[in-house]
Amino acid sequence: MWEITKKILKFLLPRRLFIARHNFLITKKLIETKYKIKDKPDSKLLRIIDTFKVFLFPQKTISFYPHVPSSGYVISRLCAFLNYKMVKAPFKKADREVVHVNSTYAEAKRIKEGISNPDRAINGRCLDISKEHVQNCFEKAFGYPLKIDPTKHHGKVLKKSTFNYTHDAVIINAPIDPSEVEEDFVYERAINNETEDGHFLDYRVPVHGDKIPVVFERYRSPKQRFTKVDYIKMIPTDNAFSTNELDCIVDFAKLMRMDFGELDVLRDNDNGKIYIVDANNTPHYFTMPNDIREMAYEKLSKTFENLIAS
């Protein structure tokens, strides 16, 4: 029913008015998100005032192509936190353009259709976030491999789809017969990231340009090692990684051509080395404990603000 209503409105209203209405509804949703992040008292009047304030006098206007991300994405929440207005590209008065393609691969030709300058747009050159590409960029940046040949390796191997958002990782025993190697799957080191209390620890690492504002420790139970997170801690970046490791992480992001995103990093207890096992240029919001939520967005918003201004 709503889709039919939208088509009728689009037909009846002038295009500029229809676009303005659409952008106003996006702003309204942003303000709702900001109140949740900052845990503000729920006041309908204040929300209305804030909505018109951001819609008419935003701190910045950010245009997105091909889609404006919903409030479930990190970048939307940062825009909400900073009182940025979000609009769909093309938008001539936008302060910055962002390519937001929620898939493993992006088409350069399609991006050029909606972005005035893909080389300057945030993530405008980030066209491939497949696990295979992650493996290749990781080895170039760090000088040691994540990838494993399952037909020659003896021991445990992690197998997962090269596509994002599948959550299908399993540990298998190697070697396997060449006929068992599956297309569109990658095989990599089975990393020993188990903690003393029996959880499995991974680091969620936000990357904003060449800055890593903070690191989140995420702990998972053995039964949900590759799916659900049990609890989260926020730690200073320097407490998680050495200076050399941080430099390599930034180099990895540059090889991926990722201006904005989040990485999943594991440290192997057996050799002390870190491994980047996933890269996401459209990171989705994950639930944070109330006591760190606003502080986390304070830190994230500062480096995001610098990225927008750069």
Taking only the tens place, the pLDDT of each residue in 250-305 is: 999 999 999 999 999 999 999 999 999 999 999 998 878 778 888 899 999 999 99
Sequence spans of domains, the chain:
2-114, 131-144+192-309
Q: What is the pTM of this model?
A: 0.88
Tell me what the pLDDT averaged over the chain comes to. Answer: 89
pLDDT at 161: 94
pLDDT at 14: 61
CATH architecture for the domain at 131-144+192-309: 2-Layer Sandwich (3.30)
Query: Is-cis flag, bond preceding 66, omega within 30?
Result: yes
